[in-house]
Structure formats: C-alpha cells, structure tokens
C-alpha cells in the first residue's frame, strides 16, 4: 500500500497536464487504497483517500452559490477525512489537529466569500480550543471570527472577539507565537475601531504596528503594516494624512517590486492611489491605477472576493468620472455580481442584513443609484437550502437521516451534544416536524440526502 501510494504521488507530480498520465497515477493510488483495506490498515486507508481527494479534477474558483458543487465541499471532504485520521492520533494531539483543520477551511471560505460557512467553522474551532485549553488555537479562532465579522459589517462582535484575543495574548506574552498573533490582533482591532468611529484609537494602533514592524527584519510584516496605514489615512479628511497615504502607497509598490509573493499589498496600494486621484478629480490617473490593480489581480488569480469586488467598484468610479457611463455600468455590474453571489450564499437573515448595512455596501448602493442601477441581491440560496436551513443544520439533518444519535453526530462534527440538540430544535421548527423520523422523511423529500 505504501509503495503504490508513493508511486501514485510521484507519477501525479510528473504528469503535469497529461490527462492519461494523471489517470494512471490515480489508478496507482486506488491500488494503494485496496491494499490498505485488505490489510485492515485504517490509517493507511485514510491517507490514500486523502491523496485521491487532492488529485481530483476540481477548480478552486468559486463563482456559484451551491456549496455542494463547490470547492468548499471538497475542503469539507478533506476535513472529514483528516478528522478520521486525527481520531487515530494520540489523545492529546486530537483537539489541536481538528482545530487547525477547521481553521484552514475557515480561512479558505472567508477568502472566497462563503462567510456563513467561515463563521460556523471558526465557531467549531473555538469550541474545541476552549475545551482543550489551547490558548494559541483560541487566539487564532477568535481573530478569525473577528475578521469574518468585519467583512460582514458586524463590528461590535468583531471588537469583542479581538478584545478577548488581546487578553489571551497578554497572558502569553513570553511565548514565541505571541508577536505574530499580536500583530494580527492590532490590525483587526484597528479596523473595528475605525469602523465604529474611533479613528484616533485606530490610528494609534496602526502606527504602533508599523513602529514594531520596523524594529525587526521582517519585510513582509512591515509592508503589510504600511498598506493598512495607507488605507486608513486615505479615508480621512486631512490633507496631511492623504499626502502620507500616497507616500506609504508608493513605498509599498516599490518594496513589492523586489518582494517575491507580494500577495495583495501592491493591489491595495494601487487602489489607495486610485482613491487619492479620484479625490483630486483626476480621472485619467485614477483609471490607470484601477486598471493596474485589476491586472495584478488577474495575473495572480487571487481568490479574495471582497478585494475583487472593491477593484471593480473603483474602476467603475474612475470610468464615471472620465465620462464613460456605459463602461462604468459594466464595471459596476461585475462588482454587483460578486456581491450578489456572496449574499446568495447566506441563509442566516441576521448575517445577510449585516452585510447589506456594511459601509462598503451603502457606498455601492449610492453609486449604483447615481447610474440608475438597483442593488437588489437575489436570494438564490433558497434553492439550495430549503426552509432557510443553515449549512450546519443541513449537516446535522443528513446525519439524523443516516440514523446517527446525538452523541455520534457530536463526535462526527466535533461539537457538544448540547449544540447538536440546539441545532435539532432549530431545524425541527424550521421544517415543522416533531421527531427524527419525520425530519429524515422531510430530508429525503427535499433531496437533501
């Protein structure tokens, strides 16, 4: 089994774009799986399944709203396989392994605009981390939740999670992982303070973050701090701050020119310069920076949906200022299409309402109105999640239909039995049933299982 798995992995790596060679590699992995099963080697079987799952022909681009057909579903499959693998690990390692796997799915979902799924996975990770008294994992989970809530416009809850993470960091100030997580916490806390109107407090944190980054040799952290401060300053009304924002943005572009794997900093710097040009009324320069940001995004195939949406919106503003209203409508249409996809993926009315009240959403609404376009997100999620069930409730319902007990469901999903019972109460109310048998029948009628 081990030999065939190694052969399959090597053959896949050498196959590159050769479809036949990849099929041969998958055949070797299937042979490995069969040997592991014949030997009763459960761990080997799981590793072979994971290797096969990673070598499926599936795109990581997320343009649709149906989670069952998306890359998110693929990641969830990997998570479940990894969870089975973790159950075979030593008891003390299980919670950490499971927490990190959940957080990996959370990060991917957040970057791709699956915000509801991202929150659910981060909450699961937080529950495990707290139960295991793993403070490092708890910090990461709380900061992940805060960042997702910022994207959703839930700034007060984001501030609460960030503050709790700060307390944990204060208690672990001498540990080697504290500086990196402290840097993330300052960035998130500053973003929430700015959104809630405390710009003075946000500026203090961002300047402290830049100062600390300048003390070390970590260029990446310094560029990240420069970018965040530039984005903050450009939103102010002070001429001196805007001049500093331009200086910082150009510094970021200069550093990124010699920095491999520049991620998004240069793109965000271009958008800062675009905003400054718009404020000056210079449509030509603004268009140039917006086009440059789009080109950098397309060249890297970065999945960050919010950044893509923002880039299209800035292009639309620049085009309108230049007098090209038709082109502006087309660019705005691209931004609105991404926005509507994000909203359509949500079944929780509270999350959807929060996003619709986000300052960036209101900004797009005002601009769309000026172009004669209505911003009305289409609730297409209703077609994929009947009765307004959340992703977690659908997961629980599938396992109920499979005949699993509350304890078995809790173990499978890494949540408490009390949480399972709460989900069951919620979904029973939504689908108007009183028993597990009725719920299972409802799931079959609605093609959930």
**214-242 residue pLDDT tens:** 987 778 889 999 999 999 999 988 889 99
The alpha carbons of the chain give a radius of gyration, in whole angstroms, of 24
Quick one: pLDDT at residue 249? Answer: 97
Residue 384 DSSP one-character state: H
Look-up: residue for tokens 């998130």? 188
Q: Where in the chain do CATH 1.10.10.10 domains reside?
A: 386-445
Tens digit of each residue's pLDDT (9 = 90 or more) over 291-342: 999 988 888 766 678 899 999 999 999 999 999 989 999 999 889 888 988 8
C-alpha to C-alpha distance for 394 and 317, rounded to whole angstroms: 41
**96-152 tens-digit pLDDT:** 777 887 888 888 888 888 898 899 899 989 998 998 888 999 999 999 999 999 999
The predicted pLDDT at position 358 comes to: 93
Instruction: Report the pLDDT averaged over residues 282-292.
Output: 95
Mean pLDDT of 75-87: 61
pTM of the model: 0.73
CB count within 10 Å of CB 327 equals 16
Query: In this predicted structure, which of 53-62, 307-316, 340-349 has the lowest mean pLDDT?
Result: 53-62
Phi, psi (rounded to 5 degrees) for 275: -60, -40
Tell me the pLDDT band of 266, cut-offs 50, 70 and 90.
very high
Higher pLDDT, 253 or 387: 253
Cα–Cα dist 144/428, whole Å:
30
Q: 346 phi and psi, to 5 degrees?
A: -100, 135
Q: Cβ–Cβ contacts within 10 Å for residue 221, how many?
A: 18
How many beta carbons lie within 10 A of that of residue 259, not counting itself? 15
Segment holding 12, helix H or strand E: helix 2-15
| Cβ neighbours around 348 below 10 Å, total | 17
On the question of pLDDT at 66 being above 80, the answer is no
Tokens standing for 414?
């890494």
C-alpha 87, offset from chain centre: 26
Outline which parts of the chain fall under CATH 1.25.40.10: 63-216
Q: Which of 109, 345, 324 is nearest to 123 (CA)?
A: 109
Cα 199 to Cα 52, 183, 223, 237, distances in angstroms: 50, 18, 21, 11
Mark out the alpha helices in 172-304 (DSSP H runs).
Answer: 178-195, 199-215, 219-234, 239-256, 265-280, 283-300
Q: Please report, in angstroms and rounded to a whole number, the separation of the first and last CA atoms in the chain.
A: 33
Distance CA 264, CA 266 (A): 6
Structure tokens at 20: 């036949």
**Residue 373 binned pLDDT confidence (cut-offs 50, 70, 90):** confident
Q: Which of 257-261, 342-346, 411-415 is the least confident region?
A: 411-415
Options 3.30.565.10, 1.25.40.10, 3.40.50.300, 3.90.700.10; CATH of 63-216: 1.25.40.10
Compute the residue count for the chain: 449
Q: What percent of the chain has pLDDT over 70?
A: 85
CATH 3.40.190.10 given to domain 386-445:
no
pLDDT tens digits, one per residue of 16-26: 667 788 888 88
pLDDT for the residue 257: 86
């Amino acid at each position: 089994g081990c030999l065939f798995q190694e052969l399959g992995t090597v053959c896949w790596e050498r196959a590159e774009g050769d479809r036949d060679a990849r099929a041969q590699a998958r055949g070797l992995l299937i042979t490995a799986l069969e040997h592991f099963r014949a030997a009763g080697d459960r761990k080997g079987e799981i590793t072979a399944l994971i290797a096969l799952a990673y070598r499926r022909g599936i795109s990581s681009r997320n343009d649709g709203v149906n989670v069952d057909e998306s890359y998110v579903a693929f990641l969830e499959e990997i998570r479940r396989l990894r969870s089975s693998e973790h159950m075979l690990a030593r008891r003390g390692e299980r919670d950490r392994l499971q927490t990190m796997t959940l957080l990996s799915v959370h990060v991917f979902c957040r970057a791709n605009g699956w915000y509801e799924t991202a929150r659910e996975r981060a909450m699961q990770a937080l529950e495990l981390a707290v139960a295991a008294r793993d403070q490092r994992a708890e910090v990461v989970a709380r900061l992940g939740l805060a960042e997702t809530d910022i994207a959703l416009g839930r700034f007060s809850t984001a501030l609460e999670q960030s503050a709790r993470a700060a307390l944990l960091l204060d208690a672990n100030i001498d540990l080697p992982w504290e500086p990196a997580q402290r840097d993330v916490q300052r960035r998130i806390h500053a973003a929430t303070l700015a959104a809630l109107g405390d710009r003075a407090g946000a500026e203090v944190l961002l300047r402290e973050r830049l100062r600390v980054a300048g003390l070390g040799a970590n260029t990446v952290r310094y560029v990240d701090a420069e970018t965040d401060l530039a984005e903050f300053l450009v939103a102010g009304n002070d001429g001196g701050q805007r001049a500093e924002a331009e200086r910082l943005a150009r510094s970021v572009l200069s550093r990124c020119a010699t920095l491999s794997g520049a991620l998004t900093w240069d793109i965000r710097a271009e958008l800062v310069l675009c905003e400054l040009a718009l404020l000056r009324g210079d449509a030509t320069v603004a268009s140039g920076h917006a086009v440059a940001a789009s080109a950098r995004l397309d060249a890297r195939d970065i999945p960050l949906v919010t950044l893509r949406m923002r880039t299209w919106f800035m292009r639309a503003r620049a085009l309108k200022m230049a007098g090209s209203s038709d082109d502006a409508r087309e660019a705005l249409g691209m931004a609105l299409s991404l926005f509507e996809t994000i909203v359509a993926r949500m079944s929780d009315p509270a999350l959807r309402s929060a996003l619709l009240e986000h300052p960036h959403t209101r900004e797009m609404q005002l601009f769309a109105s000026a172009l004669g376009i209505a911003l009305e997100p289409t609730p297409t999620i209703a077609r994929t999640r009947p009765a307004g069930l959340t992703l977690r409730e659908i997961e629980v319902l599938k396992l109920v239909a499979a005949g699993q007990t509350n304890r078995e469901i809790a173990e499978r999903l890494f949540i408490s039995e009390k949480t399972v019972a709460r989900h069951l109460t919620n979904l029973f109310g939504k689908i108007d049933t009183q028993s597990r048998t009725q719920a299972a029948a409802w799931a079959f009628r609605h093609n959930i299982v």
